[in-house]
Structure 1
Amino acid sequence: MMYRLFIVSLIIALSGCSSVRESMTESVTGWFGDKDNVEPPAKLVDFKETVPVSRRWSASVGSDSKKLYVRLQPRVDGDRIYAAGAKGRVSAFDVNTGDLLWQVDTGLPLRGGPGSGDGLVLLGTADAEVIALNRDTGEERWRVKVSSEVLAAPSAAEGIAVARSIDGRIYGFSSDTGKRVWIYDSRVPVLTLRGTSAPVITNGGVIAGLANGKLVALLLKNGSVMWESRIAIPSGRSEIERIVDIDADPIVANGVVHVATYQGNVATVALENGRGLWNRKMSSHAGIGADNNVLYVTDENSEVWALDRRNGSSYWKLDKLRARKLSAPTAFGEYIVVGDLEGYVHFLDRKSGAFAARLRVGNSPIVAAPIVAGDTLFISSSGGELTALRIGG
């Protein structure tokens, strides 16, 4: 499966037109289809559920994106949640009731977002555009062209909207007008995974994980480099062996940045200067989650780890969901939640990693990490369904 992703990324890098890129993506999928010699997904084990989970509401948010390898993750902003479909539909729902507040059909091949900030809903497209909509109405505010496809969610704060394209460029635009304010350019290796981590805006800076295994901090107002930190060093004879993408979104909290790379490390660096605090050999592209004391990691084998945020030592590991293509883990109350390739949502005890509950929300893979808003957990499937869950009846 990973070889398929590598080849798709190379083809996409060499193809200028989104329609060509996506038709070639489907062709490559067909070449490898049922012939992949990969580990079969672990069979689900029976267990005694210790917590009830119920559906609060659900809604269709757009077209099926299973064949496109995109992670259109909803965004909670205050009392509403924004969601997007791969063929251009963007919707705003009330977090508590699921009431549809507005919906627009952009007609665009959406691949990144939604993001938010400065009164905007921000999206990226396969046609190398960044779109800004009014958060209250969905009306388009501005649209700008960038150098390549945008797979990560843009975001905005302090008058600057930040977006990242798959060719290694990070842009800063005026939130009011869309006029470009600055650009940062990084070198992209020959082969990368299909995906990019979303830039994180914090404390007047932008934190971004790059395809070359580096983490960079930029000044939000002008894009100047504050520091760079090497998280993983490419090694091996082949380009495939040397892939060290940072596809997991960095987590910034309590003055540190947590980050994970593919075929590299899980690491923590100081937010102020990028100085490494600890690192641990571990490969992840699905992503990471955290609570006050623990860092949670879904590794490349779909094993879930709980690590001490202070030093990276292990608390527990769950290996009973191997090869189920788990999402990044999300802390929710006393539980850790992950979604899998068959539409199951797994609730794990935060202290032990033991199964606490399981619920199937549909038949489509859950690629995006679950999202928390108060007492509600949101699950977005690649089949275009948004489901709100809560603990209790």
Structure 2
Amino acid sequence: MKKREGALVLLTLLSCFVSLVGAASPEAVVGRWSGVLHDSGNTVSVGFEFKNENNELQASFFCDDWDLKGVPIGKASLTDNEVKTVLFTGTLTGGARMSGNLDFGPMGVPDLKLPLALEKTAETTPVPPEKTTFRQVNARWSFPTQAEVWSSPTVAQGVLYVGSDDGFLYALDARTGSQKWRFQAGKGIRSKPAVGSEAVCFLSDDGYLYALDRTSGKLKWKFDTHTALVPHTVLGDNDSRWDYLQSSPAIADGLVFVGSGNSNFYAVDMASGQEKWHYTAGDSVRSSPRVVGNTVFFASWDNFVYALNAATGEEKWKFDTKGIVQASPIVAGDVLVIGSRYPYVFALDATTGQEKWRFNYFGSWVESSAVVDSSTVYVGSSDFLHLFAIDLKNGQRKWGFKTSGYSWSSPAIANGTVYIGAARSTQRHSNAGGDLYAVDAKTGREVWRFQTGRLPDHFLQGVVSSPVVADGLVYFGALDGRVYAVPAS
């Protein structure tokens, strides 16, 4: 399966074109055109530039929010008053206006077209960006592992638990960063550990769900999910499914719930490590479960969000998002919020699975798992390069904060501040900017940023790990192989 990663797919459009057919007046089209897309609570500014090269119209696409600064999309046609490109088809309605539809099919969303009105903009001399002073913060401590840290930490009673691609689960003193113990699994650990009263549980790329003694790190049991071969292909390869995370377990009522790559979702007895029940979805389950009362919620790569009876595994409802779901659900009252690779954040009735609203990401995947504070949903993005604040009641955008890379990380919120990581592609993004951001929850303004180290010859740099806030510190892992603790204030 070819990977579909919005902005990078646009680069392949160099080979896509629509032939020039009877250009009536190409000079009427030549120039820069700009417009704003509006849909489902959100907006984004986009633009096209047309040039007449050797009597052929050539088109480029712009979107500053996605850091696309004029991506060539091939030839355009002009027949009578109709302008057609691989992305946009519209009609000239005046000397400086055209209206039509933007087609998201070439971005991997074949059934999404949105109306777009464009206006011709005058050519202006580029204005140098205004110099802005950013507050950089320093780490209280950092701990080196032997490989990238995709896992998100869990802090319980002064101990931080986190996995690494080196195959170890680490228990660290949360105050000092000193190691208490470590346990080696068969392969890398990208799941977030779940901590119970006596044990800590995690899933490894070797296909096993592990339960360790919290104090000593000794193995209590391990459960085979029958998915030892996890396709963590190199991100950026054309054959990559961008399957880069494991489901993280959740503990409730004496059971451990976790998804797997063999399409099964498991409930395992916490004391014995024996299977209680399993439910088979239509594809891999990388989403992490959320247990509320007698219901466990999760999602799958088969496009569905599921609600099951936590005691029996019986299906209560399922909802089709029309796209792969890597993100995990969050439940606030009677509302479940989750993002999809079909480019929306969905709000569902947690009892019935009926849709309440959706928020459009305009072609960008939603890999980030949302958090909810009071009446606001906070969630990151992929190609959109933004952290969004969305009204929980109506799905309208409150603010958007632009990050320096993919904010696949799930945000954390504490004391009026939202914290989120950003991972930068070495092929696309600048090395400058933050890897972890602190953002004012009300205004969306940056409070501070933190930059991690860099490893040579890696496709991604920065932070995919989701931060956790405890005792005045923000904890997270990074792709430089370290675990960090940064003062929250």
TM-score by length of 2: 0.63
Number of the residue aligned with 1:247: 326
Structure 2: 5+ residue stretches without partners: 7-62, 70-127, 231-245, 425-433, 455-460
User: Is 2:333 aligned against 1:333?
Assistant: no
Q: CA separation in 1, counterparts of 2:5 and 2:267?
A: 29
Greater shift, 197-206 or 269-278, is seen at 269-278
The AA in structure 1 aligned to 2:143 is: A
Other-structure match for 1:181: 276
Q: CA deviation at 1:381?
A: 0.5
SS in structure 2 of the partner of residue 112 of structure 1: coil
| Distance in structure 2 (CA, Å) of the matches to 1:350 and 1:147 | 42
TM superposition shift of 1:338: 2.1
Q: CA deviation at 1:145?
A: 1.2
1:351 to 420, 435, 442: 442
* 1:108-127 → structure 2 map (5 Å cutoff): 108-127=187-206
Displacement of 1:346: 1.9
Q: Report the counterpart of residue 289 of structure 2 in structure 1.
A: 199
- Counterpart in 2 of 1:47? 132
- Residues 295-374 of structure 1 mapped to structure 2, 5 A cutoff: 295-301=377-383, 302-319=385-402, 321=403, 323-324=405-406, 327-341=409-423, 344-363=435-454, 364-374=461-471
Instruction: Name 1:57's counterpart in structure 2.
Output: 141
TM-superposition CA deviations, 1:2-42 (whole Å, max 9, x none): 82789xxxxxxxxxxxxxxxxxxxxxxxxxxxxxxx97699
The CA distance in 1 between the partners of 2:448 and 2:273, in whole Å, is: 45
- Are the counterparts in 1 of residues 452 and 462 from structure 2 also a CA contact under 8 Å? no
Distance, in Å, in 2 between the alignment partners of 1:44 and 1:299 is: 24
Aligned AA for 1:377?
V
Matched, 1:220 2:307: no
Distance in 2 separating the partners of 1:44 and 1:217: 48
Return closer, same or farther for 1:265/1:310 CA change in 2, 3 Å cut-off: same
Question: Take 2:319 and 2:268, find their aligned partners in 1: how far apart are those partners?
Answer: 25
Question: Are 2:165 and 1:86 aligned?
Answer: yes
Structure 1 contact 87–107 (Cα < 8 Å) conserved:
no
SS of alignment partner, residue 192 of structure 2: strand
Taking a change above 3 Å as real, the CA distance of residues 375 and 44 of structure 1, as seen in their structure-2 partners, is: farther
Show the counterpart of 1:160: 255
How far apart, in 2, do the equivalents of 1:106 and 1:146 lie? 14
Equivalent residue letter for 1:218 = L
One-letter identity of the residue aligned with 2:289: P
Matched position secondary structure for 2:3: helix
Following superposition, the deviation at residue 168 of structure 1 comes to 1.9
Whether 2:385 is the aligned partner of 1:294: answer no
Work out whether residues 152 and 190 of structure 2, in 8 Å CA contact, stay in contact via their aligned partners in 1: no
Indicate the residue corresponding to 1:236 in structure 2: none
Instruction: Report whether the alignment pairs 1:378 with 2:456.
Output: no
Residue 210 of structure 1, CA deviation: 1.6
What TM-score do you get using the length of structure 1 for normalisation? 0.77
**Cα distance change of structure 1 residues 112 and 386 upon mapping to structure 2, 3 Å threshold:** same
CA distance in 1, matches of 2:3, 2:187: 29
Structure 2 residue aligned with 1:24? none
Deviation at 1:118, TM superposition (A): 4.8
> 1: distance between equivalents of 2:471 and 2:335?
24
Give the total of aligned pairs: 337
Change (3 A) 1:376 1:46: farther
Contact 1:131 1:142 in 2 (8 A): yes
- Distance of 2:157 and 2:329 partners within structure 1: 22
Cα deviation code 1:154-206 (max 9, x no counterpart): 22221111121123210111111111110100112xxx8xx821112221321
Aligned to 2:113: none
The structural deviation recorded for 1:252 is: 1.9
Paired position in structure 2 for 1:237:
none
Kept in 1, the 8 Å contact 2:191–2:203? The answer is yes
* CA distance in 2: counterparts of 1:205 and 1:284, whole angstroms: 24
In 2, Cα distance between equivalents of 1:80 and 1:374: 12
CA RMSD of aligned residues (A): 2.9
Matches of 2:419 and 2:130, distance apart in 1: 17
Unaligned runs of 5+ in 1: 7-37, 234-243
Structure 2 residue identity aligned to 1:356: V
| Code of the aligned partner of 1:85 | S
CA distance in 2, matches of 1:45, 1:105: 49
Query: 1:316 is matched by which residue type in structure 2?
Result: W
Alpha-carbon deviation of 1:143?
1.2
Q: Higher mean Cα deviation, 204-213 or 91-100? A: 91-100
Work out whether residues 41 and 322 of structure 1, in 8 Å CA contact, stay in contact via their aligned partners in 2: no
Instruction: Name the larger-Rg structure.
Output: 2
**DSSP-derived class of the 2:378 partner:** strand
Residue among 226, 235, 238 paired with 1:147: 226
Name the % identity.
Answer: 22
Bigger share in helix: 1
Secondary structure of 1:113 counterpart: coil
* Aligned residues of 1:47 and 1:355 also touching (Cα < 8 A): no
**1:45–1:289 distance in 2 versus 1, CA, 3 Å:** farther
Shift of 1:128: 1.7
SS of residue matched to 2:370: strand
Q: SS state of the match for residue 295, structure 1?
A: strand
1:370, 1:212 → 2: CA distance?
A: 28
Q: Is contact 2:305–2:318 with CA below 8 Å preserved after alignment? A: yes
